[in-house]
């Protein structure tokens, strides 16, 4: 699904990622953990194709294809989805209208006709039930005046609508209370299949109790310094990151 | 990673020519350039006007000669040389008995290019159109359906001949000839325009619509519109313009007068898309418009405008709320790109008791353009319990454009309640990236964000117009990512 080879990336000449190697296969869930400023969100942005970041070395392969030259929307068309840590507001554009535009633009890129309104409605109904979203919510302006929890739930709703191959959840747990966390995690679990993959970026163990990872990676200072199974997350929860820093810096 | 840089955008903007920039070669009869009493007389004679109309024009001309161009607006341009303009141009051989089938095929082809197929309009849109091409109406449709209800809808030239009592009674009563420089000029030389009268208690069954178009090179356009809604009547009027590409600046000075008698309602919607000039700021239409409506008791006038065109726009559709309980509304979207300048807004003059006005203005600036909102809310001493709500939002794209707001308030009655809200925002890279990440490319993302920003006003437009207006917004802002 995703193969990252020796990825170096910088912003305004400041190197953030310093040689990332990662392979994510279909059907897998990977967790990326690490202290603040280690480059977790940068990695997510670079995979999604944010223009401000410059890839200086290495490459990213999606299903064997080098996506380095592709614009963000083209990567999205190929099935890359990023759940944002800080979803932006777009006043006057309803959640429904935004989703309709996103789905039809993706279909257009694949040479398909617009999705018939009937199918779209059915899909919206199903996916909003999955995430326990009130229908009134869908007519509101995108993220405008949404609570932290609503924003994150809306991100996962969009993920459900777009049915990506590779979903990257960037700190989706931040700002969620325990009930919202459960709903969001259940949503993600139901969307998981043998054909797609999920990368969960988080500080904390608690989300990983609900979305159980196959692999856990620790990112520190722009590199993956430790990988392991789900027990690594528990170890980090218990011991913090200092021991890893010491190991690396030693 | 593929990058869409500022340079790419600039390149794209440069090569993007005005959509409707073409010139149709129609035989026209044009007067010699320049303006004097003889020209005014000649225009009046050409149109076979009665003596009173000729005198009215001459009076206006005398007033105009003594006036100077206003300079208070936040726009900068080379003043037109009024003696270098031809003041009358008509497609030749206009026969009032002519039907659409007799219309110059070139003209009809031009409408097609613009997407205004008259035939289609007739059949499908349920819209009666009084088409003004270069000053003289050449086609009027749906006249019969309207006349059955007693509605008069025709060119103002025809109305001067056929309904002189109505025209004479009302013309210049809302916008007096001496109101301002451009209104005086228009009064002296107006070429044609529309006239509409809705009788007492009649709800006009269809949207009335005109399309204006500048065609002859170097020809000024001076439309005159007079719309009277008698007691308890209702009418929705649509006005849309496009103009062909041209290098020298073209002057457009229209006057629109609306009269809403007791309990009447007028909805007046405009989509303005005159040629804005090229990417270097060369050419484009100067659009100096005076639009004003009078509300009698319980009457309502609603102005909705989508302004995307013209190099310079100077326009303040206004309401005089004379009658008690009357209502004035102004909904506006003004888009400026490249070197366009717009100074637009409204005046709400509250004279009657319990009068209400609402102003919603959305300004979108891109390129090196300047976009100003200028509005006056005036509450007279006898206007007890007057209410106004104003909201002025500006959206900036890029770092070289400007947005300005000049709200004026004059209240002479203590019971007045006046609210003003204003916001300024910028389309952010984060918003664009968010859309990109969901599979929406940058152009489409901007269209989406702009449409969201403009939604409150777009919603006020009649359905078919709203779709057209949305497209216009997209075309006007193509390639102007900030």
Of A24-38, B38-52, B203-217, B369-383, the range with the lowest mean pLDDT is: B203-217
Are B439 and A84 within 8 A, CB to CB? no
Which residues lie closer than 8 Å to A102 by C-beta, 6 or more apart? A76, A158, A161, A162, B435, B438, B439, B440
Nearest CA in chain B to A66: B1
Nearest CA in chain A to B448: A93
First-to-last alpha carbon distance for chain A, in angstroms, is 34
Query: Which pLDDT belongs to residue B249?
Result: 59
Which residues lie closer than 8 Å to A159 by C-beta, 6 or more apart? A81, A83, A167, A187, A188, A191
Both tokens of A129, joined, read 């039930």
- Strongest mean pLDDT among B63-72, B375-384, B439-448: B375-384
**Closest Cα of chain A to B436: distance in Å?**
4
Both tokens of A90, joined, read 């777009």
Query: Which pLDDT belongs to residue A213?
Result: 95
**Looking at residues B461-471, what average pLDDT do you find?**
77
Mutation target for B interface from A59, A69, A80, A91: give the one with most B CBs within 10 A. A91
Are A162 and B438 within 8 A, CB to CB? yes
Q: What values do phi and psi take at B305, rounded to 5? A: -135, 140
Quick one: CA dihedral B331, B336, B342, B343, positive or negative?
positive
Query: Which pLDDT belongs to residue A176?
Result: 86
Using CA atoms, how far residue A28 sits from A23, A216, B248, in Å, is: 10, 11, 65
The length of chain B is 482
Are A90 and B456 within 8 A, CB to CB? no
- β-strand pairing of B152-155 with B194-198: antiparallel
Exposed, middle or buried by CB within 10 Å (0-12, 13-18, 19+), for A13? exposed
Q: Contact at 8 Å (CB) between A214 and A200?
A: no
Nearest CA in chain B to A109: B439
Token pair 């008690």 is at which residue? B324
Are A158 and B438 within 8 A, CB to CB? yes
Domains identified in chain A and CATH numbers: 2-249 (3.40.50.300)
**Closest Cα of chain A to B4: distance in Å?**
9
Which residues lie closer than 8 Å to B466 by C-beta, 6 or more apart? B458, B459
What are the helix (H) ranges across B190-331?
none
Count residue pairs from A and B with Cβ separation < 8 A: 87
Both tokens of B213, joined, read 């178009």
Q: Which residues of A touch B (CB under 8 A)?
A: 48-55, 68-73, 76-77, 80-82, 84, 87-88, 90-93, 97-98, 101-103, 105-106, 109, 141, 158, 162
- Give contacts of B431 with chain A, Cβ < 8 Å: 88, 90
- Give contacts of A77 with chain B, Cβ < 8 Å: 439
Gap between the Cα atoms of B478 and B375, Å rounded:
29
Are A92 and B454 within 8 A, CB to CB? yes
Mean pLDDT (chain B) is: 81
Both tokens of B383, joined, read 């206007």
**Looking at residues B226-248, what average pLDDT do you find?**
79
pLDDT score of A237 more than 90: no
Gap between the Cα atoms of B445 and B443, Å rounded:
5
Q: Contact at 8 Å (CB) between B224 and B57?
A: no
Tell me the pLDDT tens digit for each residue of B251-267.
889 999 999 999 999 99
- Give contacts of B441 with chain A, Cβ < 8 Å: 71, 73, 105
Q: What is the ipTM of this complex?
A: 0.96
Using CA atoms, how far residue A181 sits from A100, B72, B302, in Å, is: 26, 59, 49
SS3 assignment, position B477: helix
Are B1 and A68 within 8 A, CB to CB? yes
Gap between the Cα atoms of B388 and B303, Å rounded:
15
Which residue, among A241, A219, A233, has the nearest Cα to A19 in the 3D structure?
A: A219
Are B433 and A72 within 8 A, CB to CB? yes
pLDDT score of B247 more than 50: no
Both tokens of A17, joined, read 């990622």
What counts of helices (H) and strands (E) characterise chain B? 12, 23
Tell me the pLDDT tens digit for each residue of B130-187.
555 444 443 455 666 788 899 998 888 889 999 999 999 999 999 999 999 999 999 9
pLDDT score of B349 more than 70: yes
Query: Which pLDDT belongs to residue B212?
Result: 45
Both tokens of A102, joined, read 């996103």
Using CA atoms, how far residue B259 sits from A36, B202, B308, B316, in Å, is: 66, 15, 27, 17
Nearest CA in chain A to B457: A92
Segments of B179-223 assigned E as strands = 194-198, 207-213
Nearest CA in chain B to A92: B452
**Closest Cα of chain A to B435: distance in Å?**
8
pLDDT exceeding 90 applies to what percent of chain B? 48
Of B2, B452, B455, which has the smallest distance from its Cβ to A71's Cβ?
B2
Please name every residue paired with B375 in a beta bridge, in sequence order, or none if there are none.
Answer: B346, B407
Binning pLDDT at 50, 70 and 90, where does residue A180 land?
confident
Please name every residue paired with B329 in a beta bridge, in sequence order, or none if there are none.
Answer: B302, B358
Are A76 and B428 within 8 A, CB to CB? no
Which residue, among A120, A187, A194, A197, has the nearest Cα to A160 in the 3D structure?
A: A187
Q: Which helix (H) or strand (E) holds A96?
A: helix A95-109
Of A51, A55, A84, which has the smallest distance from its Cβ to B434's Cβ?
A84
Q: Contact at 8 Å (CB) between B153 and B143?
A: yes
Binning pLDDT at 50, 70 and 90, where does residue A113 land?
very high
Token pair 């007691």 is at which residue? B231
Are A71 and B4 within 8 A, CB to CB? yes
Of A175-179, B52-56, B62-66, B275-279, the range with the lowest mean pLDDT is: B275-279
Tell me the pLDDT tens digit for each residue of B16-69.
444 454 455 545 566 777 888 888 998 898 889 999 999 999 999 999 999 988
DSSP state of B88: -
Are B452 and A90 within 8 A, CB to CB? yes
Q: Contact at 8 Å (CB) between A90 and A96?
A: no
Which residues lie closer than 8 Å to A37 by C-beta, 6 or more apart? none
Gap between the Cα atoms of A159 and A153, Å rounded:
10
Q: Contact at 8 Å (CB) between B59 and B115?
A: no
**Closest Cα of chain A to B442: distance in Å?**
9
Gap between the Cα atoms of B142 and B153, Å rounded:
9
Binning pLDDT at 50, 70 and 90, where does residue B3 land?
very low
Which residue, among B373, B398, B397, B378, has the nearest Cα to B388 in the 3D structure?
A: B378
- Give contacts of B435 with chain A, Cβ < 8 Å: 73, 90, 102
Are B1 and A71 within 8 A, CB to CB? yes
Q: What is the DSSP string of B301-319?
A: EEEEEEE---SEEEE--EE
Gap between the Cα atoms of B53 and B48, Å rounded:
10
Of B429, B438, B452, which has the smallest distance from its Cβ to A76's Cβ?
B438
Query: Which pLDDT belongs to residue B55?
Result: 94
The length of chain A is 250
Q: Contact at 8 Å (CB) between A62 and A26?
A: no
Mutation target for B interface from A8, A52, A88: give the one with most B CBs within 10 A. A88
Which residue, among B159, B18, B42, has the nearest Cα to B90 in the 3D structure?
A: B42
Query: Which pLDDT belongs to residue B89?
Result: 67
- Give contacts of B442 with chain A, Cβ < 8 Å: 73
Binning pLDDT at 50, 70 and 90, where does residue A124 land?
very high
Are B439 and A158 within 8 A, CB to CB? no
Q: CB neighbours (10 Å) of residue A89?
A: 17
pLDDT score of B231 more than 70: yes
Query: Which pLDDT belongs to residue A95?
Result: 94
DSSP state of B221: B
- Give contacts of A93 with chain B, Cβ < 8 Å: 448-449, 451-452
Are B452 and A91 within 8 A, CB to CB? yes
Are B430 and A88 within 8 A, CB to CB? yes
Are B440 and A92 within 8 A, CB to CB? no
Tally the C-alpha atoms within 13 A of residue B169's C-alpha that lie toward its C-beta.
Answer: 9
Instruction: Determine the angle formed by the axes of helices A117-130 and A95-109, rounding to 10 degrees.
Output: 120
Using CA atoms, how far residue B309 sits from A44, B213, B225, B404, in Å, is: 42, 13, 20, 18
Phi-psi region of B281 (alpha: psi -120 to 50; beta: other; left: phi over 0): left
Are A90 and B449 within 8 A, CB to CB? yes
pLDDT score of A7 more than 70: yes
| CA B407 remoteness from chain centre | 21
pLDDT exceeding 70 applies to what percent of chain B? 77
Which residue, among B359, B386, B387, has the nearest Cα to B373 in the 3D structure?
A: B359
Of B1, B439, B448, which has the smallest distance from its Cβ to A76's Cβ?
B439
Q: Which helix (H) or strand (E) holds B423?
A: strand B417-426
Are A71 and B428 within 8 A, CB to CB? no
- Give contacts of A140 with chain B, Cβ < 8 Å: none
| B324-361 core/surface letters (b: 16 or more CB in 10 A; e: else) | bbbbbbbbbbbbbbbbbbbbbbbbbbbbbbbbbbbbbb
């Amino acid at each position: 699904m995703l193969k990252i080879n020796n990825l170096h990336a910088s912003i305004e000449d400041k190197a953030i990622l310093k040689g990332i190697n990662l392979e994510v296969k279909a059907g897998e869930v990977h967790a990326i953990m690490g202290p603040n400023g280690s480059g977790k969100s940068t990695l997510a942005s670079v995979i999604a194709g944010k223009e401000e970041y410059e890839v200086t070395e290495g490459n990213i392969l999606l299903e064997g294809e080098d996506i380095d030259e592709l614009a963000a929307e083209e990567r999205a068309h190929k099935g890359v989805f990023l759940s944002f840590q800080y979803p932006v507001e777009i006043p006057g554009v309803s959640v429904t209208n935004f989703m309709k535009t996103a789905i039809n633009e993706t279909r257009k890129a694949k040479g398909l006709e617009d999705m018939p309104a009937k199918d779209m409605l059915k899909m919206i109904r199903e996916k909003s039930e999955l995430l326990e979203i009130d229908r009134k919510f869908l007519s509101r302006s995108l993220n405008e005046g949404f609570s932290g929890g609503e924003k994150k739930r809306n991100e996962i709703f969009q993920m459900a609508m777009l049915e990506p191959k590779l979903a990257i959840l960037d700190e989706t747990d931040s700002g969620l209370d325990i009930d919202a966390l459960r709903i969001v995690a259940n949503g993600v679990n139901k969307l998981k299949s043998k054909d797609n993959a999920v990368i969960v970026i988080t500080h904390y163990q608690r989300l990983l109790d609900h979305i159980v990872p196959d692999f856990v990676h620790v990112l520190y200072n722009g590199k993956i310094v430790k990988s392991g199974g789900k027990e690594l997350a528990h170890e980090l929860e218990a011991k913090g990151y200092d021991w890893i820093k010491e190991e690396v810096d030693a | 990673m593929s990058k869409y840089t500022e340079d790419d955008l600039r390149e794209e903007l440069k090569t993007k020519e005005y959509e409707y920039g073409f010139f149709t070669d129609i035989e026209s009869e044009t007067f010699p350039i320049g303006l004097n009493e003889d020209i005014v007389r000649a225009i009046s004679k050409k149109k076979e006007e009665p003596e009173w109309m000729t005198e009215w024009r001459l009076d206006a001309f005398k007033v105009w000669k003594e006036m100077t161009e206003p300079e208070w607006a936040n726009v900068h341009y080379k003043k037109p040389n009024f003696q270098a303009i031809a003041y009358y141009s008509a497609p030749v051989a206009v026969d009032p008995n002519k039907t659409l089938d007799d219309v110059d095929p070139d003209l009809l082809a031009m409408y097609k290019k613009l997407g205004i197929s008259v035939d289609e309009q007739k059949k499908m849109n349920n819209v009666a159109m009084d088409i003004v091409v270069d000053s003289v109406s050449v086609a009027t449709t749906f006249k019969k359906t309207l006349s059955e209800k007693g509605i008069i809808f025709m060119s103002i030239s025809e109305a001067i001949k056929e309904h002189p009592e109505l025209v004479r009674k009302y013309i210049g009563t809302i916008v007096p000839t001496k109101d301002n420089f451009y209104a005086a000029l228009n009064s002296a030389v107006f070429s044609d325009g529309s006239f509409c009268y809705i009788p007492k208690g009649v709800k006009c069954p269809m949207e009335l619509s005109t399309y204006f178009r500048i065609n002859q090179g170097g020809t000024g356009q001076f439309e005159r519109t007079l719309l009277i809604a008698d007691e308890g009547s209702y009418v929705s009027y649509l006005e849309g313009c496009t103009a062909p590409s041209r290098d020298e600046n073209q002057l457009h000075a229209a006057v629109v007068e609306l009269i809403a008698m007791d309990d009447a309602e007028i909805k007046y919607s405009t989509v303005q898309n005159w040629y804005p000039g090229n990417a270097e700021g060369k050419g484009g239409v100067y659009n100096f418009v005076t639009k004003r409506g009078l509300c009698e008791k319980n009457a309502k006038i609603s102005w909705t405008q989508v302004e995307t065109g013209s190099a310079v726009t100077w326009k303040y559709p206004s309401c005089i709320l004379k009658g008690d309980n009357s209502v004035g509304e102004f909904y506006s979207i003004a888009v400026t790109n490249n070197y366009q300048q717009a100074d637009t807004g409204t005046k709400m003059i509250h004279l009657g008791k319990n009068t209400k006005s609402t102003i919603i203005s959305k300004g979108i600036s891109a390129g090196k353009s300047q976009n100003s909102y200028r509005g006056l809310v005036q509450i007279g001493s006898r206007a007890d319990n007057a209410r106004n709500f104003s909201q002025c939002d500006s959206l900036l794209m890029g770092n070289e454009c400007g947005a300005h707001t000049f709200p004026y308030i004059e209240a002479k009655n203590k019971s007045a309640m006046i609210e003003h809200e204003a916001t300024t925002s910028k389309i952010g890279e984060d918003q664009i990236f968010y859309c990109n990440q969901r599979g929406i490319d940058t152009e489409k993302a901007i269209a989406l964000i702009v449409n969201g920003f403009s939604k409150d006003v777009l919603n006020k437009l009649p359905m078919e117009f709203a779709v057209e207006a949305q497209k216009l917004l997209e075309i006007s802002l193509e390639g102007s990512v900030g």
